[in-house]
């Protein structure tokens, strides 16, 4: 077994988010954790040539950490600084071959936004791009672009109760042509019970295209879990013919 290699010093966090191939390189996002959750997270990009020796530290570029700036908070939203932050970023190839990092925007009791950072061409620097409307932006999500359709897809925890910003009992398929305007396609998993926001979680979903289908796994809390966060199952799911027009599920 090969020995572990240290790419950078510090405490780092990574969720099940994409590793993408772009211009003969591998790109993925992590966060440097320098303090409390979530305010202490700083966005970082890792990149390396696809043919490099991955167990050599010299093969990797580790970007300069990008600190969350509360100045980007949507107008009219106020709450303590230590409850704001971003994490679990997605490396995504955007329109016009622009490489982006799209992150979960944790801002309870508010919800429905994601933060977009621009990634420099050399992978060494991140910069603020925008805050976008994004269903499920309060919890971890994965964005992928279909190689033939050219459409971006995600499975998100759609917040359907305004008083339950952290709820994870609904999983909804969403799509976008430009990463800015997102459309609700259809609900995939949904627990309508009154206790669901406290005890049901279909969460930390990661997924892949599989022909005409999407396959995904969920860290699932259901029927006896201590709470919605502390999952007691790992479940596998398949969405058949996901690209067929689905019903609009509404806000």
**Tens digits of per-residue pLDDT, 113-167?**
999 999 999 999 999 999 999 999 999 999 999 988 889 999 999 999 999 999 9
What is the mean pLDDT of the segment spanning 40-49?
96
For the chain, the residue count is 251
Rounded to two decimals, what is the model's pTM?
0.93
Strand 201-210 with 183-190, pairing: unpaired
d(CA 158, CA 155): 9
Hey, what are 155's tokens?
């499975």
Cβ–Cβ < 8 Å for 223, 202:
no
**Tens digits of per-residue pLDDT, 173-208?**
999 999 999 999 999 999 999 999 999 999 999 999
d(CA 142, CA 90): 7
d(CA 199, CA 228): 4
Q: Residue ranges per domain, the chain?
A: 11-133, 147-244
Confidence of residue 245 (pLDDT cuts 50, 70, 90): low
Residue 108's Cβ-side half-sphere holds a number of Cα atoms within 13 Å equal to 12
Cβ–Cβ < 8 Å for 134, 112:
yes
Please give the DSSP secondary-structure letter assigned to residue 179: S
pLDDT value at 246 more than 50: no
Maximum pairwise Cα distance, the chain: 54
pLDDT of residue 174: 96
Instruction: Tell me how far the alpha carbon of residue 143 is from its chain's centroid.
Output: 7
pLDDT of residue 188: 95
What is the mean pLDDT of the segment spanning 211-240?
94
Instruction: Tell me how far the alpha carbon of residue 94 is from its chain's centroid.
Output: 15
**CATH-assigned architecture of domain 11-133:** Beta Barrel (2.40)
């Amino acid at each position: 077994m090969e020995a572990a290699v240290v790419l950078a010093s510090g405490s780092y966090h990574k969720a099940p988010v994409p590793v993408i191939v772009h211009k003969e390189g591998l790109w993925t996002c992590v966060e440097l954790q320098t303090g409390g959750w979530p305010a202490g997270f700083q966005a970082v990009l890792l990149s390396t040539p696809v043919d490099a020796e991955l167990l050599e530290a010299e093969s990797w570029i580790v970007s300069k950490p990008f600190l969350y700036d509360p100045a980007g908070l949507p107008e009219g939203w106020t709450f303590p600084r230590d409850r704001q932050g971003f994490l679990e970023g997605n490396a995504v190839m955007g329109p016009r071959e622009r490489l982006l990092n799209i992150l979960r925007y944790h801002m309870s009791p508010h919800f429905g936004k994601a933060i977009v950072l621009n990634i420099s061409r050399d992978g060494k620097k991140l910069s603020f791009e925008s805050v976008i409307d994004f269903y499920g932006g309060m919890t971890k999500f994965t964005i992928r672009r279909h190689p033939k359709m050219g459409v971006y897809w995600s499975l998100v925890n759609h917040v359907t109760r305004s008083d339950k910003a952290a709820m994870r009992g609904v999983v909804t398929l969403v799509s976008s042509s430009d990463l800015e305007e997102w459309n609700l396609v259809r609900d995939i998993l949904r627990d309508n019970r009154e206790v669901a926001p406290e005890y049901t979680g279909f969460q930390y979903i990661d997924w892949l295209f599989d022909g005409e289908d999407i396959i995904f796994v969920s860290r699932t809390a259901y029927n006896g879990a201590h709470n919605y966060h502390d999952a007691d199952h790992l479940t596998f799911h398949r969405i058949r013919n996901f690209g067929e027009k689905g019903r609009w599920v509404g806000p």
